[in-house]
């Protein structure tokens, strides 16, 4: 059971209004409260100049996904990377999701780019590495996890002192420990079937004929993946045991 009363700061890297089911704040808040009903969640936009002031309030930080490219060399991306680098220096527990995972990887020296296989979408299986099986983030999870994906970018390698925790034929770095207290997952533990269908509502027509799979089938059959949610539960448990 995850400890109660933890405080989680969610960094919203989407920053869009009128997203389905409450957007980033709603998705993370709902998922985290399934793991620990009394968890406190505060969401800040990634572009807010002083969001780092909220880090002292939080027991841990989560960095969300985004339609942006984590490999971009623009002012917005470099400003976020600088803030994340300072966050890692504070040794505050961090979990990056999808784009957040890629940003953490890039800050730690990893190369981020387009996946060779293009989009990965809906429910997929990823293989937990031997190091992952002994990691507290993946404690109790099966060697083959069923998780929810929505990405076409990835981290290509785990650099330096990072540790690869889960992998798949499509995307080598599905989960990693990037630093002493920083973890990332390429998939979306916060997504339910309803969320991913809402996110993709305006994308279906554009991408239907450009992907290598049946896009409508992937979206229509998608449902919440308990293995992904268990990672949030384990992350909260890790924080509570510090």
Catalytic residues: 98, 188, 190
Q: Would you state the structure tokens that stand for residue 183, as one six-digit string?
A: 């973890």
How many CB atoms lie under 10 A from the CB of residue 6?
21
CA distances from 86 to 55, 79, 94, 159, 236 (A): 11, 11, 12, 19, 22
Q: Would you state the structure tokens that stand for residue 79, as one six-digit string?
A: 């400003």
CA distances from 102 to 90, 125, 154, 239 (A): 20, 19, 6, 22
Angle at 168 between CA 167 and CA 170, to 5 degrees: 130
């Amino acid at each position: 059971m995850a400890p109660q009363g933890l405080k989680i700061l969610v960094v919203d890297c989407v920053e869009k209004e009128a997203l389905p089911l409450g957007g980033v704040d709603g998705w993370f808040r709902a998922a985290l409260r399934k793991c620990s009903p009394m968890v406190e969640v505060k969401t800040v936009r990634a572009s807010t100049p002083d969001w780092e002031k909220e880090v002292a309030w939080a027991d841990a930080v989560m960095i969300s996904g985004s339609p942006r490219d984590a490999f971009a060399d623009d002012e917005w991306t470099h400003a976020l990377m600088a803030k994340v680098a300072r966050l890692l220096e504070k040794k505050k527990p961090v979990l990056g999701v999808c784009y957040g995972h890629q940003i953490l990887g890039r800050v730690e020296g990893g190369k981020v780019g387009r996946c060779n296989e293009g989009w990965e979408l809906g429910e997929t299986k990823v293989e937990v590495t031997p190091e992952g099986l002994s990691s507290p983030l993946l404690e109790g999870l099966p060697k083959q996890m069923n998780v929810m994906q929505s990405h076409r970018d990835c981290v290509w390698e785990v650099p330096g002192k990072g540790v690869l925790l889960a992998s798949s034929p499509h995307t080598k770095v599905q989960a990693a420990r990037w630093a002493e207290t920083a973890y990332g997952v390429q998939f979306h533990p916060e997504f339910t079937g309803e969320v991913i269908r809402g996110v993709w509502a305006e994308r279906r027509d554009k991408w239907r004929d450009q992907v290598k799979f049946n896009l409508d089938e992937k979206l229509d059959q998608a449902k919440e993946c308990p293995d992904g949610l268990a990672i949030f539960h384990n992350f909260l448990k890790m924080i509570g045991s510090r």
